Structure 1
Amino acid sequence: MPTSNPLPSTHDAATAPRTLPILDISKLSGSPEERAAFLEELGTTAREIGFFYLTGHGIPDELIREIVAVSRRFFELPEADKLSIEMVNSPHFRGYTRVGLEITRGQADWREQIDFSSERPAIPVAPGTPDWARLQGPNQWPDALPALKPTVLEWQRQLADLGIRVLEAFALALQQDKDVFSPIYEKAPIQHLKLIRYPGRDATGSDQGVGAHKDGGFLTLLLQDVQGGLQVEADDGSWIDAPPIPGTFIVNIGEVLEMASNGYLRATVHRVVTPPAGKDRLSVAFFFGAALDATIPLLDLAPELAAQALGPTADPQNPLFREIGQNYLKGRLRSHPDVAERHYADLLDPTAKREPASAY
């Protein structure tokens, strides 16, 4: 789809408006009846939609206000301060990305953002070191906004804890031990955080805030500010609006859970439409994933669940692998071709423009 063309309309005129369900995770600690009802609702929602609002999460309102405020302050910095930590400087894909420089399905996403991940030392590269090992390393922090680092690190800590609670609930909904996934995340989980600002339509090249895609990892916890734009694809190809609801996160399933459950859990296509002219949209997206050196297991589901597992979605444009590092590197190389060309030229196919050769 050319970037100059608008995205399709939100809904077919004949389609009634729909909303995502709202689930209260505090019920997991309630009475046996409340717990059972929550897990049943979670399993049904995860299978049929793959997206929901989450309440009862326990993340303090003060921290939520703080992460939103410090995000705003970052995007209001002079361009020179933001570009001082531009992602192209980082072989670990950390830092600031200007509007239009991240790519989804070959088209520019009209948003500016800053990416952080787990704050760990770089892995020394030696003969035999896997290519994905280069992804681990330190974040970039702006000197002009020292308050950003402690807020981001605290957000990552608390959202990782919440992500584990949600992941354990998914395991229970699949009739597994709640810790069934812990061997592949407990040592060094991916804690990928994006602070994102979408400028209004008057300041962009298209309506693609971010193009239609699925998320990798276990799950995503999304905090929205006040402006809508997120849309979730329905089975009939129409789009369900997911506007901000104060006090909630939007949770969606990633491809790791889809693959581990053989498609019983559903990673759903979604997108963000550019805000109207004169508006902008702020979101804080936290992606909780397994360790880079992990391999996705295939769970042994009970017969009644296995009978409903459709298998992972096959997409020739996005081949999936059970090796976490391989999948993650593939996505990073495709999304940020400038970083790929500067730091991963040895992995790029010289005969195919900006396509990674040995990463998938």
Structure 2
Amino acid sequence: MDLVDLGAVVADPELSGSAAIETARSLDRACRELGFFRLTGHGIDPALVDRLAIEAQAFFDQPDEVKAEVAMSRAGAAWRGWFPVKGEITSGRPDRKEGLYVGEEHPSDHPRVEAGTPLHGANRFPPGSLGPTVLEYLDAIRPVADLVMRTTAVGLGLPARWFEDNLTAEPTQLFRIFHYPDLPDNETSDEYGVGTHTDYGLLTLLLQDDRGGLEVQRPDGTWFDVPAEPGVLVCNIGDMLDRLTEGRYRSTPHRVRNTSGRSRLSFPYFFDPSWDAEVVPLPLEGSPPADDGERRWDGASVHAWSGTYGEYLTAKVARVFPELFASVRAGGGSGHPGSGDLR
């Protein structure tokens, strides 16, 4: 899996010089060949990363009844807070992980909060310093996402700020802290930490510990282990960038199985189109590959739907937390899954 150093782009955020443009070529190659790459030179403070990991582990070490004080089930349509092990479903099976769902802080008078739109609202953080540390990390990683998208744009032959100007002026930003416990049958169970899936949006920036467990599927169908390198961001493109490029970039299936003999932490940050954006193909030269329904892990084409990104995302998350979605809809939330089977 390619290693891309973002240092030249950090130093040249408009990608006007040869070093930054060469970085864009490297990233473009990684996106066309696999859809996953490793990222260094991003500039996030290692001390912040250490604090985040320590405070997250302290939260998950608590009894479930304590963590349940900030349960997702108490957050309504915002879908923020903690869920227990096997409380999330991927590919039809419960995941062997627990997690804390986080998003942008939306005030109570935000129009979408007042409308009960899913994934909008206030975060549910436990008492203590974890919440402020998470928000500090989000402030640190957002500029990295912008730079990666600028690099992506230049690699595709577009102006550096194309995504900011057309699709991510107000991006949908979601963050998760996942804890994969050391269950005694992790190696033999037919349940995964996270089952096979692709990510929904534009870009995922993943921070992980040194335990390993992330597996990525190559184009030939075989799987390989992603190196566990604390401080190195693992980046992958999502369904929307696959859709935007008409398959020139592929959203790649991946999964997690924790066989380290220890608990595992991971911190995925999802940088996605604006909620109301309609995601249509980019103005790229050349003919795109054929439609991808048959080659995708789920047999469903990312090109065969219409609507806004918010509708697409709501449908996806509703299938991950079906009981929670049913309760939100019964309570009058305005989010709806849109048309078609998007899972």
The TM-score, its normalising length taken from structure 1, stands at: 0.83
In the other structure, the counterpart of 1:338 is 323
Seen in structure 2, the aligned counterparts of structure 1 residues 317 and 339 have a Cα distance that, compared at 3 Å, is farther
- For residues 154-173 of structure 1, what are the structure 2 equivalents within 5 Å? 154-173=136-155
The question of 1:121 aligning with 2:104 is answered: no
Q: Distance in 2 between matches of 1:190 and 1:357?
A: 17
In the other structure, the counterpart of 1:22 is 3
In the other structure, the counterpart of 1:287 is 270
Most deviating of 103-112 and 88-97: 88-97
Most deviating of 309-318 and 148-157: 309-318
In the other structure, the counterpart of 1:109 is 95
Offset of 1:187 from its aligned partner? 4.3
- For residues 123-162 of structure 1, what are the structure 2 equivalents within 5 Å? 123=110, 133-143=117-127, 146-162=128-144
Question: Any gaps of 5 or more consecutive residues in structure 2?
Answer: none
Q: Distance in 2 between matches of 1:218 and 1:162?
A: 14
In the other structure, the counterpart of 1:254 is 238
The question of 1:97 aligning with 2:97 is answered: no
Question: Any gaps of 5 or more consecutive residues in structure 1?
Answer: 1-19, 349-355
The question of 1:224 aligning with 2:204 is answered: no
Offset of 1:121 from its aligned partner? 2.6
Counterpart of 1:170 in 2: which secondary structure?
Answer: helix
Is contact 1:227-1:281 (8 Å) kept? Answer: yes
Q: Distance in 2 between matches of 1:22 and 1:247?
A: 13
The TM-score, its normalising length taken from structure 2, stands at: 0.87
Q: Distance in 2 between matches of 1:125 and 1:175?
A: 35
Q: Percent identity?
A: 30
Q: Distance in 1 between matches of 2:207 and 2:158?
A: 29
The question of 1:298 aligning with 2:285 is answered: no
Seen in structure 2, the aligned counterparts of structure 1 residues 239 and 316 have a Cα distance that, compared at 3 Å, is closer
Most deviating of 33-42 and 87-96: 33-42
Q: Distance in 1 between matches of 2:293 and 2:27?
A: 21
CA RMSD of aligned residues (A): 2.6
Is contact 2:4-2:38 (8 Å) kept? Answer: yes
Counterpart of 1:328 in 2: which secondary structure?
Answer: helix
* Aligned residue identity for 2:264: R
Counterpart of 2:78 in 1: which secondary structure?
Answer: coil
Q: Distance in 2 between matches of 1:331 and 1:77?
A: 30
Counterpart of 2:122 in 1: which secondary structure?
Answer: coil
Q: Distance in 1 between matches of 2:65 and 2:291?
A: 47
Offset of 1:203 from its aligned partner? 6.2
Most deviating of 180-189 and 33-42: 180-189
Is contact 2:312-2:338 (8 Å) kept? Answer: no
Is contact 1:220-1:285 (8 Å) kept? Answer: yes
Seen in structure 2, the aligned counterparts of structure 1 residues 262 and 357 have a Cα distance that, compared at 3 Å, is closer
Question: Which of 52, 63, 66 matches 2:51?
Answer: 66
The alignment covers a number of residue pairs equal to: 325
Question: Which of 187, 190, 199 matches 2:181?
Answer: 199
Is contact 2:112-2:120 (8 Å) kept? Answer: no
In the other structure, the counterpart of 2:287 is 307
Seen in structure 2, the aligned counterparts of structure 1 residues 37 and 268 have a Cα distance that, compared at 3 Å, is same
Q: Distance in 2 between matches of 1:296 and 1:312?
A: 17
Q: Distance in 2 between matches of 1:148 and 1:248?
A: 21
- For residues 267-278 of structure 1, what are the structure 2 equivalents within 5 Å? 267-276=251-260, 278=261
Seen in structure 2, the aligned counterparts of structure 1 residues 75 and 235 have a Cα distance that, compared at 3 Å, is same
Offset of 1:189 from its aligned partner? 1.7
Is contact 1:81-1:142 (8 Å) kept? Answer: no
Is contact 1:222-1:286 (8 Å) kept? Answer: yes
Question: Which of 38, 47, 58 matches 2:23?
Answer: 38
Q: Distance in 2 between matches of 1:88 and 1:171?
A: 39
Q: Distance in 2 between matches of 1:215 and 1:119?
A: 22
Deviations 1:33-61 (A, max 9, x none): 43333222111110110001100000011
Most deviating of 74-83 and 207-216: 74-83
Q: Distance in 1 between matches of 2:123 and 2:101?
A: 8
